[in-house]
């Protein structure tokens, strides 16, 4: 049975595209598209660190995430106009930051902060996973520029990292859920993985039926195959940029 967006296989990613160097001002930038989800990412380098890093010789990588008012079917309010960041936004920002810090040698980065701003232009499921996948490429670009400027002696990035969603719908494990599938899923999970196969995070929730170990294994295997494909596309984009 065809999936809501026309995909014919359960193990098929949505059409994926990533373009680097899309912002003339930022040290790194990327526009990532996965199906109808589109996320704009910029990487900014600052010669300072948060208070808890001062004097340690170690850097910091962090992220901010936001969804534009008309990224979804109905207009949402800007969180800035409400005077506070919502719980979902805070959770996603922390996830993106954790995912990127894991792959960076902070000692080699030195006392600098790299901030990844991830703005959702259009949402159709998988915004946090698309943000992680795109943010890594923007981060990589920023690091290369720092190397070119002789600010770094070597590349502090230790691994590639990407993320994807998986879920179970009508008893079938599926890869890379769009919004329609995410709404129907009995279980959904976000997976963040390195290019060497190690995991940073697995966020799984069973909403209707408890998740069996065999189902969990099937979802993890599906996510692994999808992330390997995404990392291959990250590498092609980075090589193309030069």
- Length of the chain as a residue count: 242
228 carries a ligand binding annotation: no
Per-residue DSSP letter, 25: S
Residue 203's CB is within 10 A of a number of other CB atoms, namely 15
On the CB side of 140, CA atoms within 13 Å amount to 24
* Contacts made by residues 52-55, CB under 8 angstroms, sequence distance 24+: 53/111, 54/111
Nearest-angstrom CA–CA distance, 130 and 85: 20
Q: Maximum CA pair distance of the chain? A: 58
**Cα 144 versus chain centre, distance:** 20
3-state secondary structure of 185: coil
3-state secondary structure of 201: strand
Residue 80's CB is within 10 A of a number of other CB atoms, namely 9
128 carries a ligand binding annotation: yes
88 carries a ligand binding annotation: yes
Binding site residues, as ranges? 88, 126-128
Binding site residues for phosphate, as ranges? 88, 126-128
């Amino acid at each position: 049975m065809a999936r809501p967006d026309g995909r014919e296989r359960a193990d098929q990613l949505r059409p994926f595209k990533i373009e680097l160097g899309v912002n003339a001002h930022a040290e790194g930038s990327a526009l990532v598209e996965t199906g109808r989800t589109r996320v704009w990412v910029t990487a900014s380098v600052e010669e300072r660190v948060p208070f808890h890093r001062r004097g340690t010789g170690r850097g910091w990588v962090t992220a901010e995430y936001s969804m534009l008012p008309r990224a979804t079917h109905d207009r949402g309010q800007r969180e800035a106009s409400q005077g506070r960041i919502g719980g979902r936004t805070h959770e996603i920002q922390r996830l993106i930051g954790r995912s990127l810090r894991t792959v960076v040698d902070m000692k080699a980065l030195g006392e600098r902060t790299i901030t990844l701003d991830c703005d959702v232009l259009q949402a159709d499921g998988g915004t946090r996973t698309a943000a992680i996948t795109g943010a890594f490429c923007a981060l990589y670009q920023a690091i290369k520029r720092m190397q070119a400027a002789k600010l770094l002696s070597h590349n502090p990035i230790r691994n590639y990292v990407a993320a994807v969603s998986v879920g179970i719908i009508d008893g079938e494990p599926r890869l890379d859920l769009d919004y329609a599938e995410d709404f129907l899923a009995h279980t959904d999970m976000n997976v963040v993985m390195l290019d060497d196969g190690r995991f940073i995070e697995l966020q799984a929730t069973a909403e209707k039926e408890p998740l069996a170990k065999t189902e969990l294994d099937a979802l993890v295997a599906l996510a692994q195959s999808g992330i390997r494909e995404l990392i291959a596309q990250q590498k092609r984009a980075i090589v193309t940029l030069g």
